Amino acid sequence: MSVIVTVKISGDTDVFTKSLEERADLFREVAERGRKAGAVHHQFGVGDGFILVVDEWDSADAFNAFFSDPELMGFIGSVGADPNVAPEITTVNAIDSPDKF
């Protein structure tokens, strides 16, 4: 059974949004590493002072192993994350429902 993971990261959303264009190749590399590690779906959202990551992973263990990589943590910090605020991570089991689309 897969899991849905949300990660709310406090930070400078202007720096983050700008980095999506300026460092697009690095984002693609991280995405490919994620796919190889068990990521099924991935998307970002931007709110008032935070970035929201919405992912689906093969398992919580696969996500945790990927997200705890120090290289990834460095990358996240370099694209606007506030190093003084820990990310808020929520992991739930994905389920099917009649209204899923």
**Exposed, middle or buried: residue 45 (CB in 10 Å: 0-12, 13-18, 19+)?**
exposed
Gyration radius from the chain CA atoms: 14
Question: In whole angstroms, how far apart are CA 59 and each of 51, 56, 65, 81, 100?
Answer: 22, 9, 10, 25, 20
Q: What does the pLDDT read at residue 1?
A: 86
Q: What does the pLDDT read at residue 38?
A: 98
Low-confidence ranges of the chain (pLDDT < 50): none
Does domain 3-93 correspond to CATH entry 2.40.50.140? no
Q: What does the pLDDT read at residue 13?
A: 98
Instruction: Say what the pTM is.
Output: 0.94
pLDDT tens string 57-69: 999 999 999 999 9
Domain boundaries, the chain: 3-93
